[in-house]
Homo-oligomer: A and B are copies of this chain.
Amino acid sequence: MTLKIGELAALSKVSRDTLRFYEKHGLITPSARNASGYRLYSDADVHRISFIISAKEVGFTLNEIHQLLKLEVTKDEKSCQDVKQFVDDKIAVVNQRLAEIKRIKTSLQTLSNACCGGDKPATHCTILEALSDQTN
């Protein structure tokens, strides 16, 4: 299965321009071009863009994502130890972020539960009150 840029854009919910922008910055290169120079994306490209989007959504910069993806192409030049160290560092970052997002989720949920759900004023509904309720 190959997709043209507009099709991949629709599928991934990003713009064509964004795909070209990511390409210019080395994040994703279509696996082929047709005779007229149209970009043709493969299944692997679909996975790749999906990873890029997920990573971005949870707060990684394009630069960091680039580093993560680069592990693929530099694999023979770096020792395994280096790769492992880099990835383990990223796991630590991800764990931190996981804890933060859970904290935010808990406060949002406390907030939602505190709300009556009726149409009275939400007098006791504040994020910061919800946050400080946590034994954290």
B-binding residues in A (CB < 8 A): 44, 47-48, 51, 54-59, 68-69, 71-72, 75-84, 87-88, 90-91, 94-98, 100-105, 107-109, 111-112, 115-129, 131-132
Number of copies: 2
The one of B44, B57, B111, B128 in contact with A47, judged by C-beta atoms closer than 8 angstroms, is: B128
- Would you call the interface of chain A mostly helix, strand, loop, or mixed? helix
Is B115 a contact of A105 with CB atoms below 8 Å?
no
The one of B44, B84, B112 in contact with A115, judged by C-beta atoms closer than 8 angstroms, is: B84
Shortest CB-to-CB span from A100 to chain B, Å, is: 4
Is B127 a contact of A75 with CB atoms below 8 Å?
no
Is A128 a contact of B48 with CB atoms below 8 Å?
yes
